[in-house]
Amino acid sequence: MRTETEIGYNSKIEGDVVVTTVDAALNWFRKNSVWPMPMGLACCAIELMAAGASRFDISRFGSEVMRFSPRQADCMIVAGTVTYKMAFAVKRIWDQMPEPKWCIAMGACASTGGMYRSYAVLQGVDQIVPVDIYVSGCPPRPEAVLDALMKLQNKISKEPVIEKLMIANL
């Protein structure tokens, strides 16, 4: 039976050997096991919990566990309003995450400050942390969060890992 996969593996011709690039392999490992660090600050956290529960199962996509320790997580999902009071704490948690790490800004408040244009709310978590994917919604549906995770997976699959490591080590 001929199977079509991303890496063009044809078992009849090639047997049990898969030939690929190191980048593609590393990216495949990374994107299929993105363990989120839920920075659940407000109402979006409830929808994030829903995305993690059985109906909208996030672990189908490899996010098997929500790791609350930043040291063990890959992706920080900022779900909720980031106030100025909380801003430094979010930044500290982000700094404690080891590379490779990504950030999803979930919901209007995390993306841009949302409906709170006021003296106490940080107008978007991208002011302190580099965001990869923004999800709109108040709150976004769990399917939107899963869509964001899939877009993040696409983004990860295109990353030039070896090149980045070589540049970092120079």
Among residues 36, 52, 113, 114, which is the contact residue for another protein, using CB under 8 A?
113
Rule CB under 8 A: say whether 88 interacts with another protein: yes
Decide if 106 contacts 140 (C-beta within 8 A).
yes
Q: How distant, in Å, are the alpha carbons of 26, 73, 113, 131 from that of 68?
A: 24, 8, 24, 19
Rule CB under 8 A: say whether 119 interacts with another protein: yes
By beta-carbon proximity to another protein, the closer residue of 89 and 150 is: 89
Q: Which residues contact 95 (CB under 8 A, 6 or more apart)?
A: none
Among residues 62, 123, 147, 151, which is the contact residue for another protein, using CB under 8 A?
123
Short-list 58, 36, 74, 92, CA closest to 159: 74
Among residues 43, 50, 87, 144, which is the contact residue for another protein, using CB under 8 A?
87
Rule CB under 8 A: say whether 117 interacts with another protein: yes
| Sites of contact with another protein (CB under 8 A) | 84-85, 87-88, 113, 117-123, 127
